[in-house]
């Protein structure tokens, strides 16, 4: 039986794409594929989103626990390469054996009418192929960030999901966090005046040197492909513009832990059409960061911590922003149910196009590090 560990070992030798992925879009067009119609179950508050979880690791455990508090989301299937996890998770979340899949049987999920969407929480390098596989099965795709290894892969995922007639969402949990949304509201209504500057600090000291996040073939990089995404995405929704250029500098102090192609620390700068600038840091070597600061001609906003699991702390020139803390993943999953089943439009997008915008900036940052030049986005 093929396992997730088998995939990871094979990918790290070098990384090999799954056979179906190379010409996925062409294959789909030629086949005349039509995604099966999803008919979700309902509760008093509306239809329930029935979700399969793929990749039963640490963060997936957080998501699974959070879903238990979601009135409109239910775990109905599991995908893992570890039989023991399938058994224990299946018992814990009352998922029948018939809805437990490994990586060689997951294609069968197309016949499971109790699954509307699959949440992919696997290493970055697997996201594209996992997403295409799920789209082929006619299920909506939810994928963790970063959406893919680069913009090229991200575009392939978007195109394939469109042709399959399924939605593609990215796990941007901060897009539903109340204090974050209040800052965005204030900025949109002009309460900070013209935005001039943003600072985003994202980082922590990473642990186990053998984990997949420090494997170039699986992660696609280092801190930038993990925690750095938060400062990129945060700059965009805080400033309210798309950057037009980036510059970047890499610092590496541990060449054993952070091998070639695995960034330890990157400082990067972004310029926006209005003239606003951003100064950001992504690192796997420093704690006590997690801060967003935005300055305008009429005021400022600070989030510190800005992206941790909570509670988020926020203040502006007008004082503290107060909202009760609710587990981010619980809010995210219920909001995803509204997007997929009710057609709700979120205040800050979280679709594939949003993920692609971040990946284009990541690509530009790595290019700026490599060349030492200002790179257009």
Any idea which residues carry the catalytic annotation? 145, 230
Handedness of CA 85, 87, 93, 96 (dihedral sign): positive
Alpha-carbon Rg for the chain in angstroms? 20
Residues found in the chain: 377
Rounded-to-10 torsion of CA 3, 6, 7, 9: 150
CB 280, CB 267: distance < 8 Å: yes
79 sits in which H/E element? strand 73-79
| Cα(80)–Cα(61) distance, integer angstroms | 13
Closest by alpha carbon to 196, among 326, 111, 301? 301
Do the Cβ atoms of 117 and 35 come closer than 8 Å? no
Q: Which residues pair with 247 in a beta bridge?
A: 269
Helices (H), the chain: 4-11, 24-31, 58-67, 83-92, 127-136, 151-164, 178-188, 216-219, 228-239, 328-337, 352-371
């Amino acid at each position: 039986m093929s396992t997730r560990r088998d995939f990871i070992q094979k990918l790290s030798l070098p990384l090999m794409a799954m056979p179906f992925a190379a010409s996925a879009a062409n294959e789909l067009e030629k086949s005349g594929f039509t995604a099966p119609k999803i008919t979700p179950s309902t509760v008093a508050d509306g239809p329930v989103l029935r979700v399969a979880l793929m990749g039963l690791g640490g963060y997936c455990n957080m998501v699974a626990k959070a879903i238990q508090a979601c009135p409109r989301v239910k775990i109905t299937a599991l995908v893992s390469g570890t039989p023991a996890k399938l058994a224990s998770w299946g018992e814990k979340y009352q998922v029948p054996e018939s809805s437990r899949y490994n990586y060689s049987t997951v294609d069968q999920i197309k016949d499971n009418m109790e699954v509307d969407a699959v949440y992919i929480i696997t290493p970055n390098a697997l996201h594209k192929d996992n997403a295409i596989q799920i789209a082929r099965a006619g299920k909506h795709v939810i994928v963790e960030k970063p959406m893919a290894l680069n913009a090229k892969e991200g575009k392939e995922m978007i195109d394939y999901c469109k042709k399959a007639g399924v939605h593609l969402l990215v796990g941007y949990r901060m897009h539903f966090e109340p204090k974050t949304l209040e800052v965005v509201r204030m900025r949109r209504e002009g309460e900070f005046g013209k935005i001039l500057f943003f600072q985003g600090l994202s980082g922590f000291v990473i642990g186990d040197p053998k984990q997949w996040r420090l494997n170039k073939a699986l992660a696609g990089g280092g801190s930038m492909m993990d925690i750095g995404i938060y400062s990129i995405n945060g700059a965009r929704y805080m400033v309210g513009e798309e950057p037009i250029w980036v510059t970047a500098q890499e610092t590496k102090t541990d060449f054993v832990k952070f091998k070639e192609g695995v960034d330890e620390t990157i400082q990067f700068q972004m310029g926006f059409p209005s003239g606003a600038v951003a100064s950001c840091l992504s690192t796997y070597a420093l704690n006590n960061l997690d801060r967003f600061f935005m300055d305008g001609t009429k005021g400022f906003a600070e989030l510190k911590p800005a992206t941790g699991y909570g509670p988020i702390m926020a203040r502006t020139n007008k004082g503290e922003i107060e909202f009760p803390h609710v587990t981010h993943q619980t809010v995210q999953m219920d909001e995803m149910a509204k997007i997929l089943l009710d057609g709700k439009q979120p205040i800050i997008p979280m679709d594939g196009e949003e993920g692609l915008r971040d990946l284009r900036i990541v690509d530009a940052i790595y290019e700026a590090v490599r060349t030492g030049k200002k790179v257009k986005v």
